[in-house]
Amino acid sequence: MDLHPLTSSTPISNSPPSSSSSSSSSSSSSSSSSSSSSSSSSSSSSSSSSSSSSSSSSSSSSSSSSSSSSSSSSSSSSSSSSSSPPPPPPLPLFQTFHQTARSLCNGTLFPDLCFSKLSSFPQLASLSPEKLAGSALNFTSREVLLAYTNCTNLKTHLYSGLNPTDRHALDDCLELLDGSIAELKASIFDLAPSQSPALHSHDLLTLVSAAMTNHRTCVDGFYNSSGTVRSRVELYLGKIGQHLSIDLAMLKKIPGVNRATGVDQEMLPEYGAVKGGFPKWVSVKDRRLLQAAVNETKFNMVVAKDGSGNFTTVSEAVAAAPNASTTRFVIYIKAGAYFENVEIGRAKSNLMFVGDGIGKTLIKADRNVVDGWTTFRSATVAVVGTGFIAKGITFENYAGPSKHQAVALRSNSDFSAFYQCSFIGYQDTLYVHSLRQFYRDCDVYGTIDFIFGNAAVVFQNCNLYARKPNSNQRNIFTAQGREDPNQNTGISILNCKVEAASDLIPVLSSFRTYLGRPWKLYSRTVFLRSFIGQLIEPVGWLEWNGTFALDTLYYGEYLNRGPGSNTTMRVTWPGYRVITNATEASQFTVERFIQGSSWLNSTEIPFFSGLTPP
């Protein structure tokens, strides 16, 4: 059946979905999906550009007539004054209007689209930076809502005839678009004068960065699709990714925002301040919870395989947990292996999992891309609800190295924290999808790109282990997915151990292993004060595809130790650097990178705020 997509001029019959309606998370494909990145950027949205240009034309017309009357008034006034020469005629208002738009769009990645977008805003020259950013975000929010509506209609009419991969990818897009609607709504709220937007600079950039990541994840989910669904979804998405890039650039024009993120755009202050070893966004109460022994912790609910708790599966407990909780809700998961896929949706905020320890409480599953899942949907545990915390649990995807992308845990939960947990898989083990995250005293095992995504994330005092891959594979620890220079995202690995797992040690010489490779154009990763074992190749880093991203990425190493830390033979890419300045390195700490002081104190996870423990 022929489906006619809504456009900007089509009335919307349904209201935007509520922020609590989305399911567990947003994701995409990582390693193999990068080659599809460029295709969605180039897809166009005739609706937004035509609406912008017609608006611009109408504005020009009214400006012309107004300028004409202004000019004639000026001329008669000047003739009556013979003692001084007549002043030069003022610029026509439409010319001033267009100059303002062009000036604001200078330096953006998409200046022509930016000009078209800004030209649709009335009284552009008089808008404050905050109102300008708000208008830009409102414009983009409407485009996202149209895309959501069109994708919903697509699912209604075609879903039953789709293959499993396309079904999963379409479901992903709906969840991701729903997440973007919520994130843009929160951003617009933070721009209200009563909210002091400059004080919310990190939140604003984080939320819009996440919406851009959602858009890319939606597109990447169709990487293996050859049907018409992919082309329809790309049509519906239009130029949303480009609009979000413009929105980020407009946010950076707000006084205080650029200063808050550092003059050097390669700095990473977004993680935030740290107190007592934790980002400040972990509260004192949550920190006590994390550091307390299991028998000293008060639980709201218990999961036990033997029936001695409230539920026998983790998913049942999550479903029974309250929605939109403003206080910490603790689920104790007793020792045992729980074979299930768990999704913690947007509505399940402030949830905490407490297990009996690494290797004792395990949540395991084997979804993977080869069997028809998207990378996003392959996660054993997927977390979206804000403020999720886990302690003493092993998250595992046991699909194996031949199944390619197979995620053990995916988090796009803002202010999520993991303490004394392990993540076990092969390719794409840990998907740090978006927003702000913290990992402390954790173990991560994998082979290809096994820490990947586009969050602002700090790993502190963790053990990162490369496993034995298939004979034709290489090991890569990280694949960071930042795609715009104004996104405040990156992977910071601080005071960690980078080593070979036990199964790789006997065959170490048979496989090459690298610190990371650039999944997206502005990929950003740093290793700080960490131990790097002999498994790392002397060049340190690996290309993704030829020269892609080599001059736009930011890869840094600072005061590392161990046999693999020697930087004398490292890559000579323009974007790689050996960091020698503590000021530069400190931008990647919990204090500066994820606003840790504002949220980690509540989790009771220990952390240190700077480059070294207290």
Residues known to be catalytic: 449
Closest CA to 12 of 145, 173, 120, 135: 145
Closest CA to 458 of 309, 264, 599, 571: 599
Closest CA to 501 of 390, 422, 403, 392: 422
Burial letters 101-124, b for 16+ CB under 10 A, else e: beebbeebbbbebbbbbbbbbeeb
Residues 610, 587 contacting (CB under 8 angstroms): no
Paired sense of beta strands 490-494 and 394-397, if any: unpaired
Give the SS3 label for residue 307: coil
Q: Which region holds residue 217: left if phi is over 0, alpha if psi is between -120 and 50, else beta?
A: alpha
- Number of Cβ within a 10 Å radius of residue 265: 14
Give the SS3 label for residue 316: helix
And the tokens for 383? 């977390």
H helix or E strand, kind and range, residue 443: strand 443-446
Residues 476, 516 contacting (CB under 8 angstroms): yes
Start-end of H helices in 221-360: 228-237, 240-251, 257-260, 284-291, 314-320
How far apart CA 127 and CA 106 sit, in angstroms, is: 17
